[in-house]
Amino acid sequence: MDYNKPLDLLHMAEESDWVNKVNLARVDGRLCNWAKGFHPKNLSCRLDGGFLNGPYNLGQKLAFDDGTTWFLRLPRASSISPEYADEKVAMEVEALHLIREKTSVPVPEIYA
């Protein structure tokens, strides 16, 4: 397989820019403001702990005013081709629904 260093550098720059934008949304409150729109009661939330930066996803624990906590997981821009990102998340959500339906393994609620 050929290695294309300029393309790799471009992907690294795009990834870094995306991570910085997500982090800025955390810091300035837009992330919590966006997440409250998914809460059944539209409750405000706050960040609970630090930003988790993994190889395939970014994560942030959110604490809502009623005491519930959610874990927000965002697929990293570099972990999958943009045209397949929505399909990847949809398949992961479906897998969790099947695990909940067919097994006794505890599975968290999914809000998407």
Q: List average pLDDT for each run of 10 residues in the chain, which is 112 residues long.
A: 80 87 94 95 96 90 96 84 83 94 93 76
What residues does each domain of the chain span?
5-79
Q: What is the pTM of this model?
A: 0.79
What does the block give as tokens for 100?
């909940």
Nearest to 11 by CA among 63, 82, 68: 82
Beta bridge partners of 60: 72
Reported as type and span, the H/E element at residue 85 is helix 85-102
36 contacts 7 by C-beta, under 8 angstroms: no
Q: Which whole-number Å values give the CA distances from 38 to 43, 71, 79, 83, in the listed order?
A: 9, 12, 25, 24
